[in-house]
């Protein structure tokens, strides 16, 4: 699952299946329309046996424990241990040369405590009524999308953060929203969120990567 214009689209979506005598499935538009479940609907309909994708197909952010557990057990069939990206290919000697586990996690400071915005998001994601979250800013603002037919008020969201992390991690404001601005690959465009809370919506900058769903 990759844009055919990207290098990964060339190698793993075009050349690799052809070289191996496989069949590729192509479809147009964003893979998130009309719903994010379109991925799995296509897999089920066409009985696809191998599903290659960029990480953003699962999550456009640092992965949270719940999403990793679901993906590993349901899709990966427990193929990797926690913290592992994949298995070594045959004929290759595996060696860890750099212990960095990923891109630097955005951190903010609250009452002298250094906390990551991912920690705040994970605390909210743990609620059964919450579908997706995003936290931004030096003075943190958090956004939450609720699951269908679920309801919860901002006070309960705030209480969850207080309970899981502590009072010092309380966001300046929490918003319950119906959607979040994303790129075509599914990554949350936090820049747009920052501009919206600072009333700078006339200075959003380059929106060429914004999903067509949000650009109308």
pLDDT by residue (tens digit) across 162-171? 999 998 888 9
Indicate if 113 and 64 belong to the same structural domain.
Answer: no
Structural domain range at position 194? 107-201
Cβ partners under 8 Å of residue 39, min gap 6: 1, 31, 51, 53, 57
- Residue 212: the pLDDT is 62
pLDDT at position 10, please? 81
State whether 122 and 194 are in the same domain: yes
Q: What long-range pairs does 62-67 form, CB within 8 A, spacing at least 24?
A: 62/102, 62/103, 62/105, 62/118, 64/118, 64/121, 64/122, 64/125, 65/122, 66/125, 66/126
Least confident window among 18-22, 54-58, 124-128:
54-58
For residue 103, what pLDDT is reported?
A: 46
pLDDT given for residue 216 in this prediction: 46
Looking at residues 68-75, what average pLDDT do you find?
83
Residue 187 lies in a domain: yes
Gap between the Cα atoms of 196 and 199, Å rounded: 5
Q: What is the phi/psi pair of residue 74, to 5°?
A: -85, -45
For residue 40, tell me if it sits in a domain. Answer: yes
Q: Which residues pair with 210 in a beta bridge?
A: 183
Those residues with Cβ within 8 angstroms of residue 201's Cβ, 6 or more apart along the chain or in another chain: 195
């Amino acid at each position: 699952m990759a844009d055919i214009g990207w290098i990964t689209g060339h190698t793993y979506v075009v050349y690799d299946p052809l070289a191996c005598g496989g069949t590729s499935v192509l479809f147009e538009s964003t893979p998130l329309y009309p719903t994010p479940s379109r991925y799995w609907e296509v897999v089920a309909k066409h009985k696809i046996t191998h599903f290659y994708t960029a990480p953003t197909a699962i999550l456009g952010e640092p992965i949270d424990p719940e999403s990793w557990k679901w993906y590993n057990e349901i899709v990966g069939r427990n193929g990797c241990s926690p913290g592992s990206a994949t298995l070594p290919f045959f004929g290759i000697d595996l060696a860890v040369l750099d212990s960095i586990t990923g891109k630097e996690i955005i951190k903010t400071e609250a009452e002298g405590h250094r906390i990551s915005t991912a920690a705040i998001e994970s605390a909210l994601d743990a609620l059964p009524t919450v579908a997706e979250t995003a936290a931004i800013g030096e003075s943190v603002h958090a956004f939450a999308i609720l699951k269908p037919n679920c309801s919860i008020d901002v006070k309960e969201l705030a209480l969850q953060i207080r309970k899981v992390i502590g009072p010092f991690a309380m966001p300046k404001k929490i918003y319950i929203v119906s959607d979040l601005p994303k790129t075509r690959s599914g990554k949350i465009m936090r820049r747009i969120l920052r501009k919206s809370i600072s009333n700078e919506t006339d200075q959003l900058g380059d929106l060429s990567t914004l999903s067509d769903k949000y650009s109308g």
